Amino acid sequence: MPRFDTDVVHAGRDDLAALGVHAPPIDLSTTYPVHDLEAGTASFDALVGGEASAANPIYARLHNPTVARVEQALATLEGTEACVAFASGMAALTAVLMARRAHGGHVLVVRPLYGTSDHLLASGLCGMEAEFVDADEIAGRRRPDTALVIIETPANPTLDLVDIRAAVEASGGVPVLVDSTFATPVLQNPAAFGARYVLHSATKFLGGHGDVIAGVVCCADEDAKPLRTVRAATGGLLHPLAAYLLHRGLPTLALRVERAQANAESIARRLAAHPGVARVFHPGLGTVRNAGLCRSQMRGAGCLVAFELADGHAAAAAVMRAVRLITPAVSLGSVDSLIQHPAGLTHRVVSPADQQAHGITPGLMRMSVGIEHVEDVWADLEQALAQASSVRERDAA
Q: Does the annotation mark 270 as catalytic?
A: no
- Residue from 179, 223, 311, 380 carrying the catalytic annotation: 179
Q: Does the annotation mark 61 as catalytic?
A: yes
Q: Does the annotation mark 32 as catalytic?
A: no
Closest CA to 385 of 304, 327, 310: 310
- Residue from 100, 142, 204, 228 carrying the catalytic annotation: 204
Q: Which helix (H) or strand (E) holds 327?
A: strand 327-328
Closest CA to 7 of 65, 52, 74, 67: 74
- Residue from 7, 13, 27, 61 carrying the catalytic annotation: 61
Burial class (CB in 10 A: 0-12, 13-18, 19+), 128: buried
**DSSP H helical ranges for 55-88:** 65-78
Contact 338, 320 (CB under 8 A): no
Q: What is the DSSP string of 107-139?
A: EEEESS--HHHHHHHHHTTTS-EEEEE-GGGHH
Burial class (CB in 10 A: 0-12, 13-18, 19+), 34: middle
Alpha carbon 172 to its chain's center: 25
CA 203/CA 5 separation, integer angstroms: 21
Alpha carbon 324 to its chain's center: 26
Question: Do β-strands 277-281 and 304-309 pair in parallel, antiparallel, or remain unpaired?
Answer: antiparallel
- Residue from 13, 114, 196, 244 carrying the catalytic annotation: 114
What one-character DSSP code corresponds to residue 31? B
Q: Does the annotation mark 114 as catalytic?
A: yes
* Residues known to be catalytic: 61, 114, 179, 204
